[in-house]
Amino acid sequence: MAFATDLRRSTPSALRNRDPILDVLRSVLPSTGLVLEVASGTGQHIVHFARELPALIWQPSDPSPAARESIAAWVVTERRGNIREAMDLDAVQSPWPIEEVAAVICINMVHISPWEATIGLMHGAGEALVSGGAVYLYGPYRCSDRSLDPSNLAFDQDLRARDVRWGLRDLDSVIQCAANHGLEFERAIDMPANNLSVIFRRI
């Protein structure tokens, strides 16, 4: 007898950080509207957010077919009616195949992708967001006002060893990149495990 394969992927970090991220999103996102997640990965984050913030419509996306399969499997398991089918979206593509969105969230992508992906993210968000719409980023960054924590330094070195185009980004450079595309820096919030929540608004 054959058994169906469970295509849901899972990472321990997503389970650890989903609630701290959710706490910030509650103060950042509008009460209703369409929220696009860029680089949804396993899908664990978006199904959790959709469960806890049911008035919002959630649009997952990822350029990886395996990731989109995992997202679809999580959505089926959760039986959430407020999550759209995962979109094949690479941050660098232009234009993005989506209508106006109320917010864009992107978790743990900026440091695990080429700098061109961050430029594409800011360009796409600047084009897709409604006026006043939010961009929410989560991950580790280099900050000019503090030295890099040893664990983040080791993580940065590991990333660069895996791909020379990867690595922790300078937060000031990310803020300037966002400004180049009509996105105003609002605030950065310290998060567990030496990560940051970084919020921008569409001008």
pLDDT in tens, 158-202: 999 999 999 999 999 999 999 999 999 999 999 999 999 999 999
Phi, psi of 169 (to 5 degrees): -90, 150
Average pLDDT for residues 106-135, to the nearest whole number?
98
Is the Cα torsion angle 169, 42, 98, 186 positive or negative in sign? negative
Query: Which structural domain, as residue segments, surrounds residue 130?
Result: 12-202
Quickly state the pLDDT bin for 26 (edges 50, 70, 90). Answer: very high
Write out the two tokens for 108.
């743990």
Whole-number Å distance between alpha carbons of 77 and 70? 11
Establish if 62 belongs to a structural domain.
yes
User: What's the predicted TM-score (pTM) here?
Assistant: 0.95
| Single-letter amino acid, residue 62 | D
Average pLDDT for residues 88-98, to the nearest whole number?
96
pLDDT confidence of residue 127: 97
Establish if 4 belongs to a structural domain.
no
Quickly state the pLDDT bin for 10 (edges 50, 70, 90). Answer: confident
Establish if 44 belongs to a structural domain.
yes
Quickly state the pLDDT bin for 100 (edges 50, 70, 90). Answer: very high
Establish if 185 belongs to a structural domain.
yes
How many domains does the structure of the chain reveal?
Answer: 1
Establish if 151 belongs to a structural domain.
yes
- 123, 181 contact by CB (below 8 A): yes
| DSSP codes of every residue in 82-96 | TBPPPB---TTSSS-
